[in-house]
Amino acid sequence: MAKGRGLIDFSLFGANDFTFAFIVSFVAGAALSGSAFVIPAFATSVLAFTAGEAGELLQPSGAPFIATLLLVALLVQFRHLPPFATVPFGILILMGGVWLLSGSNNESGADDMMAGVLLRGLGLGFLFRSITLITFGQLDARRLAGGIGLFNTGRQLGGLIGIATLQTLIDHHTIANLAALGANVAAGKPAVIERLSALTAMVTAKGLDAAAASRAAASLLGRAVTNQSAVIAFDTAFNAVALLFVVAAPILVAIKIAIARHLRMHVAAA
């Protein structure tokens, strides 16, 4: 406490643009951190990438992200474009990129995922530059430091909640998918017999005896079912990130309208 004021200056929420941008940053933080978690996790757990290869998968998205930050800054500075105007573009591009990633499978490679990764970086650049400009546009120098801290806190909080939610979603769906797929991989089914026979022949050709080859084939089939369960769970997580804005967009519009109405009422009363 200092001079009767708390560590958090809640008077910042008296600025309507700051309040709205803070809420948007919370949602965008969930999408940013959530997607940054799911992409490498999918690469390491399903595609068997190393940690370094998974990190390199996200690196190319930095170029469109930086380019978009500069583009938005130039448009606002020299073309006097309202910062809010680029927010819908950022949301749509980000949703498109994550939707492309939701089509990934256990045979995908870095090249297959690159279009979605690049679109994600492009969308985030449009989104975060605009949110930042909206957030601090009404703040004076005295309150700027507090505004930056509060803004970053909201974004980080949204990111942590996004990661925790997606991890829980992946875990639950992996178990549910494994149960659903496993129920259909039952002994005696023609498709199962055919697959086991093919796997047994493949393993036998490598020098194993019949009993060992049969056990190895069953193990390989079980591993394939587990891997497919994880693929479906991660695709569900990618879709969840894309659908986040479908759910959040009308809520954010309603909040924006409510804030503008509150401002008009306040002005009228004054």
Per-block mean pLDDT, blocks of 10 residues, the chain (270 long): 59 79 87 93 94 92 93 90 86 92 93 95 90 81 85 92 96 94 80 85 84 86 91 95 86 80 76
Q: Name the residue among 232, 234, 198 with its Cα closest to residue 217.
A: 198
Torsion angle, CA of 255/257/262/268, rounded to 10 degrees? 170
Contacts 24+ apart (CB under 8 A), 189-197: 192/221, 195/221, 196/221
Residue 94 lies in a domain: yes
Question: Which tokens is 108 given?
Answer: 């995908």
Report the alpha-carbon distance of residue 220 to residue 63 in Å, rounded. Answer: 40
Residue 202 lies in a domain: no
Q: Please answer whether residues 134 and 17 qualify as being in contact, where contact means their C-beta atoms are separated by less than 8 angstroms.
A: yes
* Predicted pLDDT at 6: 60
Residue 173 lies in a domain: no
Residue 203 lies in a domain: no
Give the chain's domain count: 1
Find the domain containing 17 and state its range.
Answer: 12-167+234-269
Residue 163 lies in a domain: yes
Q: Where are the alpha helices (DSSP H) in 79-139?
A: 87-101, 110-136
Residue 71 lies in a domain: yes
Report the alpha-carbon distance of residue 86 to residue 76 in Å, rounded. Answer: 10
Residue 68 lies in a domain: yes
Residue 156 lies in a domain: yes
Q: What is the CATH number of the domain that holds 106?
A: 1.20.1250.20
DSSP class of residue 84 equals G
Residue 181 burial by CB count (10 A; 0-12/13-18/19+): exposed, middle or buried? middle
